[in-house]
Structure 1
């Protein structure tokens, strides 16, 4: 389907007690067989209003292309250079001279990430990690750049043990000899803890203990929220719980004023048979909800109102990455700059590009229980006040005559009737949002504004059917079959399933 990408970013909102406003950025990996030219990359960033990026190295051509763009850049010391820099002040100074001083101020470098997940992926370099950070910081001080460029190092969230409840979380004590001086460094230099947060992996490794909705930021009933028994704080998503676990782990070591920036978070859009939840719809849902969560300045239960700036992993799908299929499919774009999916950001505030959020649909979730689907269908066509007349025999959406097809139509009609509001595409977990138009033949779904539908205030409505063609009035449900089936049977079955 032709895609006009929903402009990603970036509305800047104020964050209480923070030096910078909260933002959403992106990581730029380069393991592509057809990696775009740096000038093409920067053109895409500008077109999508992306103002914050993280590089995994200090590619000179990329840094030159970013010059005078206004885009703020985190550059990185690759892990394979860490040992040399951590053992030699002179080596660190040369690195800063070659990779930082040669590009500022034209290129707006805001931070240096020293290594990546060193404690968990390169433990033999852990003893020199803080030394490397100190040496690089000293070189920045000598160049009078330390107030503009912060130094930190990204950590995997797996260094946090017993992350739920968050109030009982602590860092793996094996790393105390590194974490304590590292946090002292961050505190004394006014820097921040870099944390990689992947609810996808938390969900995958939980063996069913973590509900998918909880991982995807989907609305939860209050009874489904996770409650920390020590603080009585309610958690509605994995992301907040992990971030708060890091805050509590730092406080356990007596550090309470080091802010957190999430340097990686995302969801894969494709996986193999062992990763059934690596889907385009789930990736869209996670990243759209994450962006909304950050830019709405929601904060976390421990620090409400103080949003955690976050870099989405990642800009491009990287087809050369080793490992399972999911490893190659975390990107927002393909190598040609075509969006993998269209984000749905309604409610996130001002979006600074083409807003195509009306191109989202609510359909039956694949594999959903048929009885649950039937109950949800009957509720939508009855108490939900959806016009289900197109589903009558002889009407455009009767075929295929399956509960999945009929429920998808009814769900989408309700979703758009409710102006695509949060939680209006759930139906107790049997519905999901998609960017693929489910219309087929002469059956035009309510969200399909470009296929003979009618738009009112931006909301797509189904083509109308009058009483002479459908045998019932769509406005008042005067169709005997649907009234009896949807109201009487629907109420009984809905109550049986949900109550």
Structure 2
């Protein structure tokens, strides 16, 4: 085994196993931020009606607005409330102030309003660094108040941080926290670990792209396919990053590991793309915003994590529901909203893409190979699906109904889809090293029926083909053995990167 592959295998195994043993699997969700710096914001009851119409199940408020919390009562929507940056100092200096804040802004609304998290400030370390010393005390005081109210098991406490607290975010494997905040970050991570909370990250590939001065292609920022000459690879782990979002999340994981912390999952509290900018902001277009946010939704609902943590989903709140036209700064700052204030969409999007947001059914959803995927990666993904993944690949053998067309994407699509439908409930994903994607277009043709098709007897069925049992590696593509819930995790990465 090449030395670099041995290093990648060892490093990945350590990170993955430590986090997987500490985090209970839960399907990822896509939520949305609701900002208030708008001159024409709908009244709270109308906002909630819009949320219901759009089937939005998770929201983040930047404060603890009384009217919004009342309007959200009895809706089942999971709510993250915010401590404003102005309030962080007072709460951090006084346990009694923290207790009053919990009583007035959390306990007063539970259980009718489903408050599940508190975001303490917003990017405190980089926006109000003078408050850094009281950030963790503020979180601690709030947590103690929750404990005293018997609410700590329902409501988690954390604080959103920007990517700017990390030095050298690429390659992710060498990322570390800025030493300016070493003491605070260490205490911050200790708190998250002790309380079972999550690292809140504001991840903006838009700024990663625009600040990069052309270092990265825009396709990388938008989750769009990269040509072979534009592939982004971490030279230390040989992990291939198909998008900047995953690289940002992984940079956080590696930064935590550098301080000897693991088992803290990342929750992305903000990510999005502006749809309008000034003349000096050419990347802020409606086309790019539509591409980014729809691809982000698909990525999150894959229920998979970044390369170093493939089994740990990355739930994400999109920034944001409405434009905030009162915000200071350039044109782009005011135009991140996905909806106009009358509830109509700025551009088409589906938070419940292909019906998979609930995680209850995958009927009519298909996991297929990307036509422009790198052939070697596609071949590796196909071999893994039909081998360690235990997909039933009998149908794509020569002479069988799904052999034609005899192309790598066609065969990989069948294998990927069969694996996904068998393993979705156990955490199986539609990723395969970035070579797969979801579609609601049924790829079945002739007598070739894909799992999940309305033409199949049941979701995931590929009758009339029977299982053959264990076979040699040379004929692995006709294997249909049962697979354990976690056996696919690490072998997938090792095969995909030819280690």
Check whether TM > 0.5: yes
Q: Is the 8 A contact 2:159 2:199 kept in 1?
A: yes
Distance 2:277 2:169 in 1: 26
Match in the other structure for 1:241: 247
Per the TM alignment, residue 24 of structure 1 is displaced from its structure 2 partner at its CA by 0.4
Give the SS at the match of 2:279: coil
- 1:171 and 2:171 equivalent? no
Q: Is the 8 A contact 2:270 2:318 kept in 1?
A: yes
Note closer, same or farther for the CA distance 1:346–1:226 as it changes in structure 2 (3 Å cut).
farther
Match in the other structure for 2:320: 314
Q: Is the 8 A contact 1:295 1:348 kept in 2?
A: no
Distance 1:250 1:35 in 2: 39
Per the TM alignment, residue 138 of structure 1 is displaced from its structure 2 partner at its CA by 0.3
Q: How many residues align?
A: 340
Correspondence 1:299-448 to 2 at 5 A: 299-343=305-349, 348-350=354-356
Q: Which of these residues, 81, 105, 119, is aligned with residue 111 of structure 2?
A: 105
Per the TM alignment, residue 347 of structure 1 is displaced from its structure 2 partner at its CA by 7.0
In the TM superposition, what whole-angstrom CA distance separates every residue of 1:98-126 from its partner, at most 9, and x where no partner exists?
Answer: 11111001000000011110000000111
Distance 1:294 1:190 in 2: 22
Match in the other structure for 1:465: none
Match in the other structure for 1:73: 79
Structure 2 length-normalised TM: 0.66
Structure 1 length-normalised TM: 0.66
Q: Is the 8 A contact 1:67 1:107 kept in 2?
A: yes
Q: Which of these residues, 107, 112, 116, is aligned with residue 122 of structure 2?
A: 116
Per the TM alignment, residue 320 of structure 1 is displaced from its structure 2 partner at its CA by 1.2
Match in the other structure for 1:62: 68
- 1:274 and 2:280 equivalent? yes
Match in the other structure for 2:139: 133
Q: Is the 8 A contact 2:221 2:245 kept in 1?
A: yes
Distance 1:225 1:300 in 2: 16
Per the TM alignment, residue 54 of structure 1 is displaced from its structure 2 partner at its CA by 0.3
Distance 1:351 1:188 in 2: 30
Distance 2:339 2:353 in 1: 23
Q: Which of these residues, 197, 201, 221, is aligned with residue 191 of structure 1?
A: 197
Give the SS at the match of 1:93: helix
Note closer, same or farther for the CA distance 1:219–1:346 as it changes in structure 2 (3 Å cut).
farther
Match in the other structure for 1:84: 90
Note closer, same or farther for the CA distance 1:346–1:75 as it changes in structure 2 (3 Å cut).
closer
Give the SS at the match of 2:119: strand
Distance 1:87 1:241 in 2: 36
Match in the other structure for 2:45: 39
Distance 1:343 1:62 in 2: 24
Per the TM alignment, residue 349 of structure 1 is displaced from its structure 2 partner at its CA by 4.7
Per the TM alignment, residue 318 of structure 1 is displaced from its structure 2 partner at its CA by 1.2
Question: Which structure's CA Rg is the greater one?
Answer: 1
Per the TM alignment, residue 86 of structure 1 is displaced from its structure 2 partner at its CA by 0.3
Q: Is the 8 A contact 1:26 1:52 kept in 2?
A: yes
In the TM superposition, what whole-angstrom CA distance separates every residue of 1:116-137 from its partner, at most 9, and x where no partner exists?
Answer: 1000000011100000000000
Q: Is the 8 A contact 2:27 2:303 kept in 1?
A: no
Note closer, same or farther for the CA distance 1:71–1:18 as it changes in structure 2 (3 Å cut).
same
Per the TM alignment, residue 344 of structure 1 is displaced from its structure 2 partner at its CA by 6.7
Alignment gaps of 5+ in structure 1: 1-14, 353-456, 458-499
Distance 1:89 1:162 in 2: 37
Aligned alpha-carbon RMSD (Å): 1.9
Per the TM alignment, residue 345 of structure 1 is displaced from its structure 2 partner at its CA by 8.0
Alignment gaps of 5+ in structure 2: 1-19, 359-452, 454-499
